[in-house]
Structure 1
Amino acid sequence: MGKYLHPQQRDHIHTLAARFIWRSELPTWLLIAAVYGGWFAALLYWQTLGLLASTLLLIWFTAWYMSLQHELIHGHPTRYPWLNQLFGTLPLAVWYPYGVYRDSHLAHHRNDHLTVPQDDPESYYFTQDTWARFRPWQKRVIHLRNTFIGRLLLAPLLDILHTLHGAALAFRHADRRGMAMWLIHVALLAALFVWMARLGFSPVWFVLAVSYPALALTKVRSFYEHRAADDPLARSVINEAGIVWRVLFLNLNYHSVHHDLPGVPWYGLKAIYLHSREAYQQRNRGFVVRGYGEWLRQFWRQPVDVTAHPGVKQGEEYGPSAGISDVRR
């Protein structure tokens, strides 16, 4: 449980956790059924639904599946990581093996290192040395990626390219664990594409018109989700988003609460936030936004300043932070 909670907050969370709905993890079980049922039904009945309707449904369920994978990584709905992994291993979103995302994301949850380029594998920042070495065209690409529109249109492509580069490195360096994750992922993806083709649904269409837009949707949530700040409590945003976004992102818009209490299930985040709204807003130093439309209006063309990390003067980078992008969901 978060080490910054006051006794009243702790009592409230203990009360919530004692309820049947938390103990049974029923909402997450229902979510798994809804995501898998909706995704496969949209494909099975795509000819009846029509290409446009089935594509739109698949975009939603694919993005929702990525939110579900995040919940599985954090220990829901069971206490057994291997069982949770089974629910998230199918490559319904195409690009990322579950294990790659899991390892990156759990490392991201070291709050004292949040946003620091050398230590946070999901940071959008660079060290000042790295930023100084970038060529002008690279800086232009990064600035474009840091606009709201660029985050939707360009960032998925950069992430995909970087992820594929990571796969190539795993095989080049004979990383057995990484190779195994990718081989299993590719085998399952090939089987999925064969099944799609037999249904008459083009795998190429799925990749271009479903998986890419679905990945772009996840970029709405992660846009300016973290900022560089001296106080780790002030680094994660609270986004008071509307119900559609909250459902799609499983309440991760309350991101400061999630980083404070990463083990809390998705259906508990809003209740905890509303119970201690003023306390959380004070603790994250007012890093609050009133819905994703505010980000769109403010940054549709103007880039958010996520470039050289102000707290890192020098040092060698490793992993994803040394490139332009990585797995960030």
Structure 2
Amino acid sequence: MTTSVHPSPIRPPRAAWWRRYETPTLLLAAALYAAWAALLWWHRSLPAWLLFLLGGCLGQLHSSLQHESIHAMRHLPRWLRHAVVWPPINLWLPYPLYHSSHSAHHVNFHLTHPHKDTESVYHAAHAWQGYGPWRRWVYGANQTLAFRMAVGPWLCLAELARGEAARLWAGDASRVRMWLAHAFSVAPLLFCVIQVCGMGPGTYVLCFVYPSMMLGALRSFTEHRWSDTPHARVAIVESNLLFGLLYLYNNLHHVHHRAPTMPWYEIPIHFRRHRAAVLAANGHFYYRGYGEIARRFLFRPVFEPVHPLW
């Protein structure tokens, strides 16, 4: 059964109209899709480096909105909550698969478990013993920020493909329908990218999908670590407004695990009001921004890849 580290904070009995209709999130979604379409339409007018930065930011923001739809937006019907974030801007991950795997991640007593936590980068000791030297080197290097951001996205895609192929090889076709639906969703999006806006598929992958995955790897790099108590397994990264909006304040990750349904725009307010209590609860697992993380772990492992318990 899924449990939170702490119960959600008590809310007033009647929400303001802008919260009742999810106005901040819907306006943000509308702005995101408008900016994405504009960036595609005028992409030839921009230098490659700027297209890379803006495309990656929009892709990451879309991933953050998908995360928001899984946990929050509770005043909207389920079908509308999903429809708002369904367009597969990042191409590679079907929304239903992200929804189910991320929900499993929120079983807090499973956090960091090599097999039960779907977002863990730890490896069980018995599995590690069976890896060859090259695989051990790759997983070890993946504990550094430079490798995780540069190579990690391709490693993630390879792991996804390997897992889905193994599932099919074992005779489990339960996800075939989901992947077909995803393909039918990707097809019109790529038609708009290629035929309407004149952008090559390779350019889209390199300037939208890849930098988006890099930013996602930055956010998740040290979100979780092993500790004897679930409270201290979830980090706080107190970053600036840019990263706060880009990640919809999921960088204040312990607050999110504490109250998963809290809307993104309430998370920083809650953290400021309860800062001392939050940091005490997570054992001061805290970073003062992503600059600190980069200085400490750009080329140095954040932790050993073998889980100390399993």
Query: What TM-score, normalized by structure 2, do the two folds share?
Result: 0.92
- 2:152 aligned partner: 155
Q: Which amino acid aligns with 1:263?
A: T
Q: Quick one: which of 100, 103, 113 aligns to 2:100?
A: 103
Q: Quick one: which of 199, 204, 207 aligns to 2:205?
A: 207
Q: How does 1:175-190 map to 2 (within 5 A)?
A: 175-190=172-187
Q: Quick one: which of 134, 156, 161 aligns to 1:137?
A: 134
Q: Given the superposition, is the C-alpha separation of residues 271 and 116 from structure 1 closer, same or farther in structure 2, using an over 3 Å criterion?
A: same
CA distance in 2, matches of 1:17, 1:205: 47
- 1:242 aligned partner: 240
Q: Given the superposition, is the C-alpha separation of residues 25 and 14 from structure 1 closer, same or farther in structure 2, using an over 3 Å criterion?
A: same
CA contact (8 A) 2:51 2:207 kept: no
CA distance in 2, matches of 1:264, 1:277: 16
CA distance in 2, matches of 1:3, 1:195: 43
What is the Cα deviation at residue 305 of structure 1?
Answer: 1.0
Q: Given the superposition, is the C-alpha separation of residues 64 and 17 from structure 1 closer, same or farther in structure 2, using an over 3 Å criterion?
A: farther
CA distance in 2, matches of 1:239, 1:275: 16
Q: Which amino acid aligns with 1:69?
A: Q
CA distance in 1, matches of 2:116, 2:272: 31
- 2:194 aligned partner: 197
- 2:274 aligned partner: 276
Identity across aligned pairs (percent)?
35
The alignment status of 1:304 with 2:302, answered yes or no, reads: yes
Q: Given the superposition, is the C-alpha separation of residues 105 and 152 from structure 1 closer, same or farther in structure 2, using an over 3 Å criterion?
A: same
What is the Cα deviation at residue 44 of structure 1?
Answer: 2.0
Bigger CA drift: 282-291 or 201-210?
A: 201-210
Bigger CA drift: 259-268 or 128-137?
A: 128-137
What is the Cα deviation at residue 49 of structure 1?
Answer: 4.6
Q: Given the superposition, is the C-alpha separation of residues 190 and 280 from structure 1 closer, same or farther in structure 2, using an over 3 Å criterion?
A: same
Q: Quick one: which of 43, 63, 77 aligns to 1:66?
A: 63
Which segments of 5 or more consecutive residues in structure 2 lack a partner in the other structure?
Answer: none
- 1:83 aligned partner: 80
Bigger CA drift: 89-98 or 189-198?
A: 189-198
Bigger CA drift: 51-60 or 144-153?
A: 51-60
What is the Cα deviation at residue 73 of structure 1?
Answer: 1.2
Q: Deviations over 1:183-229 (max 9, x none)?
A: 11122222222222212111111112321111101111101110101
CA distance in 1, matches of 2:176, 2:281: 42
Q: Quick one: which of 279, 284, 287 aligns to 2:285?
A: 287
Q: Given the superposition, is the C-alpha separation of residues 72 and 174 from structure 1 closer, same or farther in structure 2, using an over 3 Å criterion?
A: farther
The alignment status of 1:128 with 2:120, answered yes or no, reads: no
Aligned residue for 1:280, secondary structure, equals helix
CA distance in 1, matches of 2:14, 2:130: 50
Aligned residue for 2:305, secondary structure, equals coil
Q: How does 1:29-48 map to 2 (within 5 A)?
A: 29-48=26-45
What is the Cα deviation at residue 4 of structure 1?
Answer: 3.3
- 2:253 aligned partner: 255
CA contact (8 A) 2:143 2:303 kept: yes
The alignment status of 1:146 with 2:115, answered yes or no, reads: no
Q: Given the superposition, is the C-alpha separation of residues 231 and 3 from structure 1 closer, same or farther in structure 2, using an over 3 Å criterion?
A: closer
- 1:226 aligned partner: 224
CA distance in 2, matches of 1:191, 1:31: 23
Q: Given the superposition, is the C-alpha separation of residues 151 and 88 from structure 1 closer, same or farther in structure 2, using an over 3 Å criterion?
A: same
Aligned residue for 1:206, secondary structure, equals helix
Cα RMSD of the aligned pairs, angstroms, is: 2.1
CA contact (8 A) 2:72 2:260 kept: no
Q: Which amino acid aligns with 2:130?
A: R
What is the Cα deviation at residue 17 of structure 1?
Answer: 7.2
Q: Which amino acid aligns with 2:273?
A: H
Aligned residue for 1:311, secondary structure, equals coil
CA distance in 2, matches of 1:168, 1:133: 20
Aligned residue for 2:11, secondary structure, equals helix
CA contact (8 A) 1:99 1:181 kept: yes
- 2:164 aligned partner: 167
Q: Given the superposition, is the C-alpha separation of residues 202 and 219 from structure 1 closer, same or farther in structure 2, using an over 3 Å criterion?
A: same
CA contact (8 A) 2:239 2:251 kept: yes
CA contact (8 A) 1:167 1:179 kept: no
Q: Which amino acid aligns with 1:145?
A: N
